[in-house]
Structure 1
Amino acid sequence: MRRTVDEQKRLELMCRFERPYWEKGLLVAGMDEAGRGPLAGPCVAAAVIMPPWLLIPGIDDSKKLPEKKRRRLFEEITRSAICCSVGIVDSGVIDEINILNAAKRAFEQAFLGLRVKPAHVFCDRISNEKTAGGLEQTLTLGTSYRQITGGDALCYSVAAASIVAKETRDALMREYAKTFPEYGFENHKGYATKRHKEMIALYGACDIHRRSFLREL
């Protein structure tokens, strides 16, 4: 019982960003991306509009969740959401325009895919001290938005979007593993694990590797 009460309080605290809009009967979207750091595969962003006051136990930053729980929450979010959409930018485009611009494009694609347009958008910040001098990347959404540093751990709607983005990207990487089985994409999802770097050294890069990232190895 105590755990249930604590979880309810945690979720209510995460909704402090949405609450002023929900109280006015307005819808908000959360957006987040997955796959900014890997050596291979796409950058995927998700936009999610959750029904006001519907709090799904367990929703949190996707990076904090075990895979089995994350998959279950993905199913519940996509089933319960008013609408959700994803934007996918592949490795070739990432090499062409850089990862920061690719993340921006994925965010904008995800937003454009929403069949219901929200009054406001909350999203995880898509720049930091290591990119663009720490300057916030401007999004072209056609509605008001706010970027929140660490938003996937602080804002309910952004956390929901982080789960959708992560699960969508992981599913894509499992499919790529069937085409390029020697790299083990189903396990590391393209991230720079020791095993992944060993396979690149042995086999070279494949079609979904980010050449601009491999130069740093």
Structure 2
Amino acid sequence: MTELSSSEKSLQAGTTLAAIKARLNNAAVEPVDPQWLLSLQADPRVGVQRALQQYQHRLVVAQQAQVALQARLRLEQHFWPQYPLIAGVDEVGRGPLAGPVVTAAVILPHDFNVTGVDDSKRLSAKRRAELYPQILSQAVAVGIGVGDAALIDQENIYHATELTMAQAIHNLTWRPQLILVDAMTIPVPIKQEKLIKGDQKSASIAAASIVAKQIRDHLMAMYDQVYPGYDFAHNAGYGTAAHLAGLTRLGPCPIHRHSFSPVQAVTP
């Protein structure tokens, strides 16, 4: 039988519900002794049993998150032996009527361990905000590209996105040996694997989608202060009712895409 640690012995002596909850909640930092967990199962208090169930549920969720992360790293793990530096690239902002298209290129380390990384569209704003600094802290390199409305109007949104993805690659501090990209062709002389729904299949692309989304949302919140009346902070430039109402009332502002038909309709 494993001997209990001094902290676990003191908990058994005091055994307050608050102390037990605190110990279980701190399990990620200081793993608990299995024998102590067994002793909790025999505790008759409803609160203790509920705390134990919540702890066990957190374990299951954490294990599922690890399984999901490993599934999203399969592509990288397949290519890493031949291409140690792999950049995942994704974009945010092809559909809005205003604001830039933002792209990110992210090179992940081979021991990347940020669980919960997924296509940014499938994550809440709160979860993206939690994951964003974790990705930045673990990434080998992150490059950003920003294509403004003028570039979009000049080149069309699809080609502007490709050019902006190239910008993100050029802004990496390390040159990747392979690019994983979501169904686009980036005009750079680097081998590329084009994927359908890549942000759901590749951790690198998913990480890039989160980074790009966070940066673009922050930009649009700033533009809401510069160009009030379009509700940019809430619609990120998409054609919501509030945005269209502002567009009709005020006309286009400097970040509107004049090549998009709803903007053309109100342009003098």
Q: Structure 1 length normalisation: TM-score?
A: 0.91
Q: Which residue of 2 aligns with 1:134?
A: none
- What's the CA shift for 1:65? 0.8
Aligned pairs, number:
206
CA distance in 1, matches of 2:180, 2:249: 43
Q: Which residue of 1 aligns with 2:107?
A: 49
Q: Which residue of 1 aligns with 2:239?
A: 192
Structure 1: give runs of 5+ residues left out of the alignment. Answer: 127-137
Map Cα deviations across residues 86-114 of structure 1 (whole Å, 9 max, x no partner): 01010011011100011001100000111
- What's the CA shift for 1:23? 3.9
CA distance in 2, matches of 1:19, 1:39: 38
CA distance in 1, matches of 2:265, 2:158: 17
> Structure 1 residues 44 and 52 mapped into 2: Cα distance closer, same or farther (>3 Å)?
same
Check if 1:215 corresponds to 2:264: yes
CA distance in 1, matches of 2:176, 2:153: 32
What is the CA RMSD across the aligned residues, in angstroms? 1.4
Structure 2: give runs of 5+ residues left out of the alignment. Answer: 1-58
CA distance in 1, matches of 2:196, 2:252: 33
Map Cα deviations across residues 2-24 of structure 1 (whole Å, 9 max, x no partner): 21111111111111110123345
Q: Which residue of 2 aligns with 1:123?
A: 181
Q: Report runs of 4+ in structure 1 exceeding 3 Å deviation.
A: none
Contact 1:27 1:52 (8 Å CA) reproduced:
no
Q: Which residue of 1 aligns with 2:156?
A: 98
- What's the CA shift for 1:121? 0.8
Specify the code of the residue in structure 2 equivalent to 1:200: L
Q: Structure 2 length normalisation: TM-score?
A: 0.74
CA distance in 2, matches of 1:22, 1:201: 51
Considering Cα pairs closer than 8 Å and 6+ residues apart, tell me whether 1 or 2 has the greater RCO: 1
Q: Which residue of 1 aligns with 2:204?
A: 157
Q: SS of the residue aligned with 1:17?
A: helix
User: Identity of aligned pairs, percent?
Assistant: 38
CA distance in 1, matches of 2:186, 2:144: 16
Q: Select the structure of larger CA radius of gyration.
A: 2
- What's the CA shift for 1:53? 2.6
CA distance in 2, matches of 1:76, 1:161: 12
